[in-house]
């Protein structure tokens, strides 16, 4: 038993005692927002590249390994962990993941100290699950990629857009894919099924890929309800909401109506044609109908939310997104496209400061905007632009990013282009057109 301090350490998060995360490539992390070295294949916010050699870990091997025990030791000692920089520095959104876990599992705080040794070894078992059973997804959102979308993966392969010299892409090699699929089928399914059958699932985060495309989602949720555990379960979703029915099962009436509580964060990054450009695969009207169907069973405002990732084209959809939220009577969960390399031109931080700030200033004076949108906009003024973060690489990064955008527009035969969207602001359009000449 570890010695419990008089005051709760401010950087302590309940996740390392309650939560387990698995990527579509079966990489394990503290959570989806943690910044850690890759195990085999580097994910988008990892701090170091992996070996490129597939070396998966079972949950039993991972849960009390030296890294996890080190995380717990440091948290209990009140240290600020670099692994938690996304929460520490609010890199994605202002409502941080640490607060979520501490609120949901605060009642287990005393158990943490009673069931954890000074070494960081704990006898507590995970009760919160973020298992991404594959990268299966029917969308190709432009700020996403092949690791999180099978549609992206297929497009990349079809058009020879994969850099096979980068070992992070080794997960797509046929022999490695076969190993990943076998591990998912034989080990991951076993781990999750055991937790369900042993009544150990208190919270699930269904995200993907696209979780409503997962057969596992429908099977396990149905089983949890059959076992009588629905009244104990909190389920949250991050979904493109392109489907709400599967083999005669309705998400809302057959699943969500039979559990303790739930939250649907429906991804939508722009309205109408702009939204369909950003999220290739989106049918805006169909999405809207599926969202409204959820509102018919929602018991409180938090259950149906708009999940808005602020992109460069999305800068010009901010007011429309607030209007949509107001019309639907829901709140917005807002975050910004993560800038982890100098070519992420889909981020609003791709704009130079002298162009970005006037746009933000105009938006935040709009009295119709809610707190979530204003917070994420104000945060942009306090974060380095890509030109400030990578002054030597910015020019080449923007050129690379633009080439990729134009290549995708050609492949996807887009009738609406980035240039069309940015043309609403002459300064932004001029910047876009001159990227190749700077």
pLDDT in tens, 130-165: 999 999 999 999 999 999 999 999 999 999 999 998
- Percent of the chain scoring above 70 in pLDDT: 99
Task: Report pLDDT digits (tens) over 164-194.
Answer: 988 889 999 999 999 999 999 999 999 999 9
So what's the pLDDT on residue 94? 67
The larger pLDDT score, comparing residue 367 to residue 296, is at 296
Task: Report pLDDT digits (tens) over 386-434.
Answer: 999 999 999 999 999 999 999 999 999 999 999 999 999 999 999 999 9
Span 331-345, mean pLDDT?
A: 92
What would the two tokens of residue 382 be? 């306090």
Task: Report pLDDT digits (tens) over 238-259.
Answer: 999 999 999 999 999 999 999 9
Beta bridge partners of 19: 128
pLDDT at 84 over 60: yes
pLDDT at 225 over 90: yes
Distance CA 46, CA 206 (A): 21
Contact of 146 with 135, CB cutoff 8 Å: yes
Q: What is the mean pLDDT of the chain?
A: 95
pLDDT at 79 over 70: yes
Beta bridge partners of 246: 249
So what's the pLDDT on residue 365? 93
User: How deeply is 330 buried, as exposed, middle or buried, from its count of CB atoms within 10 A (0-12, 13-18, 19+)?
Assistant: buried
Task: Report pLDDT digits (tens) over 44-60.
Answer: 788 888 888 999 999 99
**What's the predicted TM-score (pTM) here?**
0.92
Alpha-carbon distances, residue 86 vs 90, 91, 102, 254 (angstroms) = 5, 5, 16, 36
Span 103-108, mean pLDDT?
A: 94
Distance CA 302, CA 331 (A): 7
What would the two tokens of residue 96 be? 């941080």
- The length of the chain in residues reads 438
So what's the pLDDT on residue 438? 57
So what's the pLDDT on residue 91? 76
Span 277-289, mean pLDDT?
A: 98
- Three-class secondary structure of residue 15 per DSSP: helix
């Amino acid at each position: 038993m570890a010695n419990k301090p008089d005051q709760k350490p401010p950087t302590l998060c309940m996740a390392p005692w309650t939560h387990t995360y698995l990527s579509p490539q079966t990489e394990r992390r503290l959570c989806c927002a943690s910044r850690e070295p890759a195990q085999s294949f580097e994910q988008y916010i990892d701090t170091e590249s992996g070996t490129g050699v597939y070396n998966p870990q079972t949950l039993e091997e991972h849960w009390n390994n030296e890294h996890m025990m080190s995380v717990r030791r440091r948290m209990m000692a009140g240290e600020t962990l670099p692994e938690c920089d996304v929460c520490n520095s609010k890199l994605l959104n202002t409502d941080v993941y640490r607060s979520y876990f501490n609120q949901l599992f605060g009642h287990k705080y005393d158990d943490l100290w009673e069931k954890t040794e000074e070494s960081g070894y704990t006898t507590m078992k995970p009760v919160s699950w973020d298992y991404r059973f594959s990268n299966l997804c029917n969308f190709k959102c432009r700020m996403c990629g092949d690791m999180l979308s099978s549609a992206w993966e297929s497009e990349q392969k079809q058009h020879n857009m994969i850099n096979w010299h980068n070992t992070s892409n080794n997960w797509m090699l046929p022999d490695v894919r076969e190993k990943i699929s076998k591990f998912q089928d034989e080990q991951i399914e076993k781990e999750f099924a055991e937790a369900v059958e042993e009544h150990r699932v208190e919270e699930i985060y269904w995200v993907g890929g696209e979780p409503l495309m997962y057969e596992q989602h429908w099977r396990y949720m149905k089983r949890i309800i059959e076992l009588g555990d629905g009244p104990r379960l909190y389920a949250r979703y991050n979904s493109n909401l392109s489907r709400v029915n599967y083999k005669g099962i309705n998400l809302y009436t057959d699943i969500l109506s039979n559990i303790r509580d739930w939250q649907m964060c429906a991804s939508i990054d722009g309205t109408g044609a702009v939204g369909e450009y950003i999220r290739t695969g989106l049918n805006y009207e169909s999405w809207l109908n599926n969202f409204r169907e959820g509102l018919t069973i929602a018991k409180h405002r938090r259950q149906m939310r708009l999940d808005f990732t602020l992109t460069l084209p999305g800068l010009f959809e901010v007011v429309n997104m607030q209007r949509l939220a107001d019309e639907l009577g829901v709140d917005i969960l807002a975050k910004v496209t993560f800038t982890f390399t100098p070519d992420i031109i889909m981020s609003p931080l791709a704009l130079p400061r002298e162009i970005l700030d006037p746009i933000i200033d105009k938006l935040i004076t709009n009295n119709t905007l809610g707190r979530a949108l204003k917070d994420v906009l104000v945060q942009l003024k306090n974060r380095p632009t890509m030109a400030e973060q990578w002054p030597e690489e910015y020019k080449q990064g923007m050129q690379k990013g633009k080439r990729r955008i134009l290549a995708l527009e050609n492949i996807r035969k887009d009738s609406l282009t980035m240039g069309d969207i940015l043309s609403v602001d002459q300064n932004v359009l001029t910047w876009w057109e001159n990227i190749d000449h700077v």
